[in-house]
Structure 1
Amino acid sequence: MHVVRYSQAFIPTLKEAPADAQVASHKLLVRAGFIRQLGAGIYDYLPLAKRSLAKIEAIVREEMDAIGGQEFFLPALHPAEIWKESGRWEVMGDNMFRLKDRKGGDYGLGMTHEEIFTDIARGELRSYRQLPQVWYQIQTKFRDEPRPKSGLLRVRQFTMKDAYSFDVDRAGLDLRYEDQRRAYEKIFTRCGLDFVAVQAHSGSMGGSESSEFMVKTEAGEDLVAACPRCRYAANTETATSRGPVAAARQGTRKDRPEKFPTPGVRTIDDLAAAPYRRPAEQQLKTLVFVADEKPVIAVLRGDDDLHEPKLQSATGATTIRPAHPEEIKALLGALPGSLGAVGVTGTKVLLDEALRGLEGMVTGANEDGFHLEGVSVPRDLGHGTFASLRTVKAGEGCPRCDGTLDVFQALEVGHIFKLGTKYSESLKATVLDKDGKQVPIVMGCYGIGVERILAAAIELHHDDNGIVWPLSIAPFQATVLTLGPEPELKAAAEEIVGALAKAGVDVLFDDRDERAGVKFKDADLVGVPIRIAVGKKGLANGQVEWKLRAGGGVELVPLGEVARKVADKVRSAA
């Protein structure tokens, strides 16, 4: 319980949002006096933000402790050597902040702590009898984000709960992963988030399986494909479907591909337009990438888009990037716009699953200004390997049932990974199993973005007047204010505040010498869930005004009952 008097509090509210603020959470966190920007992607957390973040962290701790988690606090400053051991010093590239000490030693600011926790494990764990272990921390992380934006949604310094599990085998990892999944569901539910768990790409973290916990919001930068019928859900990085909505427009079958001139054609749309009139669904799109410094060719239907994480998964590469024009020219003899995989040897060719069996297709001839028609995928691209490469689109069939997929923007608030032995093998973290055999520890990793919960809650819960906090993470659960300067109103308000504090309620007491309208507007902007207003008319009848920020009208409540009513409401939302 905690009482703060508004007249003594630092709550610097603003009438206008910053000009660069695009999403609701950024606008309202600044306007309501929660944060201020220090630099690009770097924010000061003011007292209101600290109160809400502390409540989020308390919920996280309770649920982590409930599944046997033990809390650590590890350094944010890491020697380069430990990251070089795992191989990620190079993999992280420009995303990691790097610096040198006065002796010239290389260091990085931690983006995550797999290496550091594994280092502890390899130094202290010797036998299967010491397993399982579940370790976690709530700590500051750093990422040299190239395009910081959207307030706390894309930043360079942030707080993460990262947990790590250590088991002797994969059966143990499966149990720990399920424990974390259930704990995450409880955490996000308690924080007032409407979320979905989706299949995801593991990226630079590695591992065999991962799930993201996503909040549906237009402020999100991820795309999720979900089926409302069977509840299938996956990030578009891994999502599949029963195929494109429109069938491919196959052209005339030919005994062999035939070359025809296409001067000036550089894009799919160019070839679809007059005078060529080869629709995008009849074209083969050929893209060249470099995966772990080796070229790879991806081929899709002309009307489909490549999803790079799917290509990365298909190649098994640690790093992947689009090839440069000069690299493409050296490999295929032509520039983008005239590329194809027919007759290509010595280079890995991946074909999207949607291309199976297609005939009469058009592709580049690997000669600038020329294309091939009558291409048969089975006949002419038989040297390729099929893989899921395309981005799933709304309206396509669900891969699990006969429903159709919805595709929507979503914000990631948590991610869990089955790391397996990726880090224990590279860092040589082993234990003796029951048979006395030295085996690598089997690991899992589980992350939650603390500020992302804060921002996601605002994206989901706000209106034109300000934030509408869930009771569980609001900086204050109730606000008490007076509707005039009369001493009896202030005395009654003091009585209510004292009763609320005794009942364990966090209270913002608006004792300012301001008009009632100003107090109402600030209470709505800050988003305090319960508003208690003391006015002359109501008090004459022994009553005060009660209003929920989340909706509903003003209700008159007996002065002696208001503290119990607030406390009951707070308990019911816990």
Structure 2
Amino acid sequence: MRLSRCFLPVMKESPSDAQIVSHKLMLRAGLVRQTAAGIYAWLPIGWRVLQKIGQIVREEQDRAGAIEMLMPTLQSADLWRQSGRYDAYGPEMLRIKDRHDRDMLYGPTNEEMITDLFRGDVKSYRDLPRTLYHIQWKFRDEVRPRFGVMRGREFLMKDAYSFDIDEAGARNSYYTQLLAYLRTFQRLGIRAVPMKAASGPIGGDLSHEFIVLAPTGESEVFYDAAFEEFDWAQEALSYDDADGLKALFEKVSTTYSATDETHDEARWAEVSPDRRREGRGIEVGHIFYFGDKYSASMGLKVSGPDGSMVTPQMGSYGIGVSRLVGAIIEASHDENGIVWPETVAPWKVGLVTMRGDDEASVQAAEDIYKKLTAAGIEVLYDDRDERGGVKLGSMDLIGLPWQLVIGPRGLAQGVVELKCRRTGEKVELSIDSALERLTA
């Protein structure tokens, strides 16, 4: 992508109403623009990041055996009345009447709808277990939307729902999602610690939220240092290994971690003082096992192996895809701007010509741009008629993993400069060596 042709409106200064780092940098780097309180338009660079996060989430859900679908954003209030949540959910739910005076709502979550869809077509235990998911926009009418996409009203979320014939199966589905989440967050380049959590309006008595550590987090967190040494990917563990999944869950559950909501001072005192870690964190995912809370209230039954009718056990599993953009920035930035993990960066390489009026520099940049693009490398080429310092400042702000800088002096010596955004390390290489490193 040529920056001169991209809609990427960077800002020199942070807006006065932006309070936290991620909100400031998302506005300055041109990821989003607010269109109403707590509602944002995602500009091209922000949309690219959202798509990359969503794709990683999707791949790990598929790998865990979940099946993708898509449900609508608007739901009938009658479904929520069947579960008993329509009046209980609170003012965060945006309630709407259509032209026929029917009560509708903009979905904050989809337990009722997925249960209704499932009961319409699933009649036998032979159709279980199943886990269905989608990535869809949600709306919760926050009383005080703030912190940009971290506490907005409209947000993009992956929500999955499991159906099992009994509690043992439902718990295995829960453990499966626990592992899928650990693998997802590792691929996103962040460490999200699973912590025992309150279930809130979703319901149930088994719940974990995944917390990214960041000074600006809304929750105070407490955890054992063992989580810093944990093998998050657990690559040797198969999703078909029920005993291994249970052992993983038990390890997570017995190693102390909690938010301020569920913090237990007595258990905390049992953790060795040198292993206690405290800080603040941002919730980026939440998983729940709630048994038959929705299946029973909505009359979902299937025939069991002996012919008797059985109420399936359920769980739900959410990841805040749009919130993750802000959380990643909170956890990965410096005084100059964003520092994207390579897996979610909008482009891998920022290509800069220090002198746009130098024909040799421009020609070299054009040639490099074509070769990198042909090799499948995503490149943002700053071909604007701007000073070199302005271009480098923009690249630091946007935070691409690599910067390839071309200037007349270097070219005269047969070298270009390759900078790693995360470490700040700069090396001078021949053009061929730079290309080889970036395409390796």
Using the size of structure 1 for normalisation, the TM-score is 0.70
C-alpha distance 207-501 of structure 1, shift in aligned 2 (>3 A): same
Q: Which amino acid aligns with 1:547?
A: K
Q: 2:113 aligns with which of 111, 116, 129?
A: 116
> Are 2:350 and 1:472 aligned?
no
Looking at structure 2, the residues matched to 407 and 15 of structure 1 have their Cα atoms a distance apart, in angstroms, of 35
Deviations 1:58-87 (A, max 9, x none): 101110111111111111111110000000
Q: 2:392 aligns with which of 498, 514, 520?
A: 520
Deviates more, 1:224-233 or 1:439-448: 224-233
**Aligned residue number for residue 307 of structure 2:** 436
Q: Which amino acid aligns with 1:414?
A: G
Looking at structure 2, the residues matched to 431 and 564 of structure 1 have their Cα atoms a distance apart, in angstroms, of 58
Looking at structure 2, the residues matched to 542 and 559 of structure 1 have their Cα atoms a distance apart, in angstroms, of 8
Q: Which amino acid aligns with 1:242?
A: A
Give the 3-state SS of the residue equivalent to 1:22 in structure 2: coil
Deviates more, 1:545-554 or 1:208-217: 545-554
Deviations 1:88-147 (A, max 9, x none): 001112010001111211111100000000001111111111111110000000001001
Residues 76-475 of structure 1: pairs in structure 2 closer than 5 A:
76-228=73-225, 231-242=255-266, 397-398=269-270, 405-475=276-346
**Aligned residue number for residue 48 of structure 1:** 45
Q: 2:405 aligns with which of 533, 547, 550?
A: 533
> Are 2:405 and 1:556 aligned?
no
Q: Find the structure with the greater CA-based Rg.
A: 1
Looking at structure 2, the residues matched to 547 and 226 of structure 1 have their Cα atoms a distance apart, in angstroms, of 36
Looking at structure 2, the residues matched to 83 and 452 of structure 1 have their Cα atoms a distance apart, in angstroms, of 26
Q: Which amino acid aligns with 1:96?
A: M
Contact 2:82–2:298 (Cα < 8 Å) also in 1? yes
Residue 518 of structure 1 deviates from its aligned partner by 0.5
**Aligned residue number for residue 16 of structure 1:** 13
Q: Which runs of 5+ in 1 are unaligned?
A: 244-395, 569-574
Q: 2:57 aligns with which of 57, 60, 85?
A: 60
**Aligned residue number for residue 414 of structure 2:** 542
Residue 504 of structure 1 deviates from its aligned partner by 1.4
Q: Which amino acid aligns with 1:550?
A: R
Looking at structure 1, the residues matched to 414 and 332 of structure 2 have their Cα atoms a distance apart, in angstroms, of 33
Looking at structure 2, the residues matched to 401 and 521 of structure 1 have their Cα atoms a distance apart, in angstroms, of 45
Looking at structure 1, the residues matched to 362 and 403 of structure 2 have their Cα atoms a distance apart, in angstroms, of 16
Looking at structure 2, the residues matched to 76 and 126 of structure 1 have their Cα atoms a distance apart, in angstroms, of 26
More helix by share: 2
Deviations 1:262-289 (A, max 9, x none): xxxxxxxxxxxxxxxxxxxxxxxxxxxx
Deviations 1:401-459 (A, max 9, x none): 67775442211000011121110000111111111111111111000001111111100
Looking at structure 2, the residues matched to 198 and 432 of structure 1 have their Cα atoms a distance apart, in angstroms, of 36
Contact 1:497–1:507 (Cα < 8 Å) also in 2? yes
Give the 3-state SS of the residue equivalent to 2:189 in structure 1: coil
**Aligned residue number for residue 511 of structure 1:** 383
Looking at structure 2, the residues matched to 238 and 85 of structure 1 have their Cα atoms a distance apart, in angstroms, of 30
Contact 1:191–1:453 (Cα < 8 Å) also in 2? no
Contact 1:433–1:439 (Cα < 8 Å) also in 2? yes
Q: 2:359 aligns with which of 467, 487, 508?
A: 487
Computed over aligned residues only, the root mean square deviation of the Cα atoms, in angstroms, reads: 1.5
Looking at structure 2, the residues matched to 564 and 435 of structure 1 have their Cα atoms a distance apart, in angstroms, of 63
Looking at structure 2, the residues matched to 219 and 450 of structure 1 have their Cα atoms a distance apart, in angstroms, of 19
Q: Which amino acid aligns with 1:539?
A: L
Looking at structure 1, the residues matched to 107 and 67 of structure 2 have their Cα atoms a distance apart, in angstroms, of 20
Contact 2:165–2:312 (Cα < 8 Å) also in 1? yes
Looking at structure 2, the residues matched to 547 and 196 of structure 1 have their Cα atoms a distance apart, in angstroms, of 31
Looking at structure 2, the residues matched to 531 and 15 of structure 1 have their Cα atoms a distance apart, in angstroms, of 20
**Aligned residue number for residue 251 of structure 2:** none
**Aligned residue number for residue 240 of structure 2:** none
Looking at structure 2, the residues matched to 459 and 450 of structure 1 have their Cα atoms a distance apart, in angstroms, of 15
Looking at structure 2, the residues matched to 35 and 236 of structure 1 have their Cα atoms a distance apart, in angstroms, of 31
Looking at structure 1, the residues matched to 363 and 302 of structure 2 have their Cα atoms a distance apart, in angstroms, of 67
Q: Which amino acid aligns with 1:138?
A: I
Q: Which amino acid aligns with 2:122?
A: L
Looking at structure 2, the residues matched to 94 and 552 of structure 1 have their Cα atoms a distance apart, in angstroms, of 47
Residue 552 of structure 1 deviates from its aligned partner by 3.2
Residue 553 of structure 1 deviates from its aligned partner by 2.9
Deviations 1:269-317 (A, max 9, x none): xxxxxxxxxxxxxxxxxxxxxxxxxxxxxxxxxxxxxxxxxxxxxxxxx
Using the size of structure 2 for normalisation, the TM-score is 0.91
Q: Which amino acid aligns with 1:214?
A: I
**Aligned residue number for residue 349 of structure 1:** none
Contact 2:129–2:169 (Cα < 8 Å) also in 1? yes
Q: Which amino acid aligns with 2:261?
A: E
Q: Which amino acid aligns with 2:36?
A: G
Aligned length in residues = 412
Contact 2:155–2:323 (Cα < 8 Å) also in 1? no
In percent, how many aligned pairs have the same letter? 44
**Aligned residue number for residue 382 of structure 1:** none
Looking at structure 2, the residues matched to 498 and 562 of structure 1 have their Cα atoms a distance apart, in angstroms, of 14
Looking at structure 1, the residues matched to 28 and 196 of structure 2 have their Cα atoms a distance apart, in angstroms, of 36
Looking at structure 2, the residues matched to 523 and 536 of structure 1 have their Cα atoms a distance apart, in angstroms, of 19
Looking at structure 2, the residues matched to 480 and 95 of structure 1 have their Cα atoms a distance apart, in angstroms, of 45
Q: Which amino acid aligns with 1:239?
A: H
> Are 2:367 and 1:499 aligned?
no
